[in-house]
């Protein structure tokens, strides 16, 4: 305790805590007397100050805080809570803060306190009116959502770019045979195009989840104050409009305490990372087997073995799933069991989302580039497509189409496979087994030409023309549908960016009437 008192005037270093407390007239003097605008001198020092601080991390929401401050001050002036001249002085001080950037702020517990202290230092006592009718609780909650919207849109751009790369591969390689696997064992022949569409579809759902999450992020908590509203005649809808939010979080307590939108974003990103991890694993395995040639830009070599070409970037993409999972689990663990309304634990919640969105967005861009620049050796892939008697199911289907119960057809092909001792059985071998198992010659069900065709990987793929199948026509249809969905999602993202840009211009125009 003695050490705390001895250091009570020490400066703090840090930024975005969600600390309680609205500005009280008279506290502004502390901003120039060795304390801070929020804490004064009593709570401005001590060894725990650095522990409490989030200043460095808050560089990320510096611009968001300026926007939130400006919208709040404009609203205060419009409602007559501060006069126009006072609003102009505050807004001019915020312009100075913006020019000097985050690095020009004084020490503070968080960026919100530091900006307020700087505004008071520039504008004098009138700067203390900036925080009227709000708390850092609703302020920081708004700043997080304001910045997170942009990050979600960046993540969506990366996901959509990856989808575009996959759709292009699917279109170009619609007829490129390749082996398909289950349990990493040869299963059925498919095509590179069909494989690429499988991941394009998964990422399309990820984009849907991120778009849905965006809509819930895009609600304003501003005006909720500490958690119980304010007696001032504020207009929450106006500040939401100026900041480009689609509406407000209605309940004031929910507005400052809610972080489920962070969970939703982190969860969607973890899903993206999981899909990317599977994509990366496939490409690592394909590279090992000579089924794909990755561009040098997405590969590396050994420091000692010069002949090596390693898929290092994709291995790191694969590892990102662990980072995303850790971020989501860390966030959920931080939020678990918190009472209403605000608790300082929330200061540690947001970094989990920042780190997750950064890691996943970067990994998605890398994966998209690797896919877009990869080459697919058609000859090697076609040769491998029929390995392990992967055409067996097609022959069984031929028999089933001739009214043989599928389980009996399955038995015929299983026996034929055993007789062939790992190789694809000949038509003659299959005919002998059919007669032995079914008691009739194979010609009673299918002629030799039909069975021979089913044994051919290319014809085998062509047979599978059901919706979503690997037949070239089915893949072409899938490409068209995927491209249409992608175009719609790209337009949705562009529309959201346009709305944010328009709100930013509107806020700047309103600010200019006071400055």
Q: Which residues are catalytic?
A: 183, 302
Q: How far apart, in whole angstroms, are the C-alpha atoms of residue 161 and residue 455?
A: 38
Q: How far apart, in whole angstroms, are the C-alpha atoms of residue 82 and residue 87?
A: 7
Contact 158, 361 (CB under 8 A): yes
Q: How far apart, in whole angstroms, are the C-alpha atoms of residue 310 and residue 317?
A: 14
Q: Give the tokens for residue 391.
A: 């055409």
Q: How far apart, in whole angstroms, are the C-alpha atoms of residue 384 and residue 214?
A: 44
Q: Quickly count: other Cβ atoms within 10 Å of residue 326's Cβ.
A: 15
Q: What are the CA-CA distances from residue 100 to residues 62, 91, 228 (Å)?
A: 11, 14, 34
Phi, psi of 489 (to 5 degrees): -70, -35
Q: How far apart, in whole angstroms, are the C-alpha atoms of residue 340 and residue 338?
A: 7
Q: How far apart, in whole angstroms, are the C-alpha atoms of residue 91 and residue 115?
A: 12
Give every CB contact of residue 183 below 8 A, 6+ residues apart in sequence.
none
Contact 410, 396 (CB under 8 A): yes
Task: Round the CA-based radius of gyration of the chain to a whole number and report it.
Answer: 31
Q: How far apart, in whole angstroms, are the C-alpha atoms of residue 478 and residue 496?
A: 27
Measured between alpha carbons, how far apart are the two ends of the chain, in Å?
Answer: 47
Q: How far apart, in whole angstroms, are the C-alpha atoms of residue 38 and residue 31?
A: 8
Q: What are the CA-CA distances from residue 423 to residues 387, 389, 428 (Å)?
A: 8, 6, 14
Residue ranges with strand state E in 143-250: 177-182, 185-191
Q: What are the CA-CA distances from residue 214 to residues 148, 150, 201, 311, 342 (Å)?
A: 9, 9, 20, 33, 23
3-class DSSP state for residue 185? strand
Show the CA angle centred on residue 108, arms to residues 104 and 109, nearest 5°.
140
Q: How far apart, in whole angstroms, are the C-alpha atoms of residue 277 and residue 31?
A: 50
Q: How far apart, in whole angstroms, are the C-alpha atoms of residue 141 and residue 68?
A: 10
Contact 460, 188 (CB under 8 A): yes
């Amino acid at each position: 305790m003695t050490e705390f008192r001895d250091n009570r005037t020490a400066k703090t270093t840090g930024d975005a805590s969600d600390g309680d407390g609205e500005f009280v007239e008279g506290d502004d003097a502390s901003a120039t007397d060795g304390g801070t605008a929020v804490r004064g001198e009593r709570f401005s020092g001590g060894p725990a100050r650095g522990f409490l601080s989030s200043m460095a991390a808050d560089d990320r929401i510096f611009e968001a805080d300026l926007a939130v401050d400006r919208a709040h001050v404009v609203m205060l002036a419009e409602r007559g809570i501060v006069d126009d001249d006072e609003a102009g002085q505050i807004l001019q001080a915020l312009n100075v803060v913006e020019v000097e950037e985050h690095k020009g702020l004084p020490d503070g517990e968080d960026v919100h306190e530091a900006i307020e202290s700087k505004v008071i230092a520039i504008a004098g006592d009138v700067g203390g009116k900036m925080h009227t009718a709000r708390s850092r609780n609703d302020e920081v909650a708004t700043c997080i959502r304001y910045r997170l919207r942009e990050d979600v849109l960046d993540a969506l751009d990366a996901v959509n770019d990856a989808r575009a790369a996959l759709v292009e591969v699917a279109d170009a390689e619609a007829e490129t045979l390749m082996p398909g696997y289950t349990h990493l064992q040869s299963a059925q022949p498919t095509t590179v195009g069909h494989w690429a569409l499988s991941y394009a579809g998964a990422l399309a759902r990820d984009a849907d989840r991120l778009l849905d999450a965006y809509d819930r992020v895009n609600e304003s908590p501003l005006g909720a104050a500490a958690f119980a509203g304010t007696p001032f005649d504020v207009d929450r809808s106006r500040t939401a409009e100026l900041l480009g939010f689609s509406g407000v979080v209605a309940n004031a307590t929910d507005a400052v305490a809610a972080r489920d939108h962070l969970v939703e974003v982190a969860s969607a990103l973890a899903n993206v990372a999981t899909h990317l991890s599977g994509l990366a694993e496939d490409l690592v395995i394909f590279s090992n087997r000579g089924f794909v040639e990755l561009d040098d830009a997405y590969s590396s070599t050994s420091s000692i073995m010069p002949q090596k070409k390693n898929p290092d970037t994709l291995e790191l993409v694969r590892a990102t799933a662990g980072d995303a999972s850790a971020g989501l689990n860390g966030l959920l663990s931080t939020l678990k069991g918190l009472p209403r309304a605000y608790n300082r634990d929330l200061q540690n919640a947001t970094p989990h989302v920042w780190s997750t969105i950064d890691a996943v967005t970067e990994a998605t861009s890398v994966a998209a580039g690797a896919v877009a620049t990869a080459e697919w050796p058609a000859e090697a892939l076609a040769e491998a497509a029929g390995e392990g008697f992967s055409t067996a199911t097609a022959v069984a289907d031929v028999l089933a189409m001739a009214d043989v119960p599928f389980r009996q057809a399955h038995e015929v092909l299983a026996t034929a496979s055993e007789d062939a001792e790992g190789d694809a059985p000949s038509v003659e071998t299959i005919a002998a087994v059919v007669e032995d198992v079914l008691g009739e010659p194979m010609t009673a069900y299918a002629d030799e030409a039909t069975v021979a065709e089913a044994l051919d990987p290319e014809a085998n793929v062509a047979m599978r023309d059901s919706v979503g199948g690997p037949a070239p026509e089915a893949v072409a249809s899938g490409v068209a549908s995927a491209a249409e969905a992608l175009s719609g999602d790209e337009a949705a993202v562009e529309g959201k960016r346009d709305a944010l840009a328009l709100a930013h211009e509107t806020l700047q125009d309103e600010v200019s009437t006071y400055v």
